[in-house]
Amino acid sequence: MIRLELLLEPDPELDAEDRERLDRQLRAELRELDIDSIAAVAGAPPPGGAKGADGATLGAFVLALSASGGVFSTLIETLRDWLNRHSGGHRISVTTG
């Protein structure tokens, strides 16, 4: 089992609503992969008046996937494709551990 931390860093010029939309789109695509689990990283409580009230850090995910079957390379290719389709200064960081 491989555990990965993934962080979406949207273009800093996007507003909060667009950041949240990107977060949802990326998470939906990741769920289509053969990943054992995906969970949002718990973060600080959102500021008062924020739309998201789940206390998760937008764009931060923990993934668990099988160490065999090419799932990791499929994940990286999916992330690369996603970035290419969404123009802008977005970045995705992947950390293993």
Query: In Å, what is the CA distance from 16 to each residue of 28, 49, 71, 81?
Result: 18, 12, 31, 23
pLDDT digits (tens, 9 = 90+) for 3-52: 999 999 988 888 889 888 998 999 999 999 988 899 888 764 444 455 55
84 alpha carbon, distance to own chain's centre: 15
Domain ranges of the chain: 2-43+54-60+69-90
Q: Would you place residue 57 in the very low, low, confident or very high pLDDT band (cuts 50, 70, 90)?
A: low
Q: Would you place residue 68 in the very low, low, confident or very high pLDDT band (cuts 50, 70, 90)?
A: confident
Look up residue 73 and give its DSSP letter.
H
5 alpha carbon, distance to own chain's centre: 9
What's residue 5's pLDDT? 92
For residues 62 and 7, give the distance between their C-alpha atoms in angstroms, rounded to a whole number: 9
For residues 14 and 3, give the distance between their C-alpha atoms in angstroms, rounded to a whole number: 29
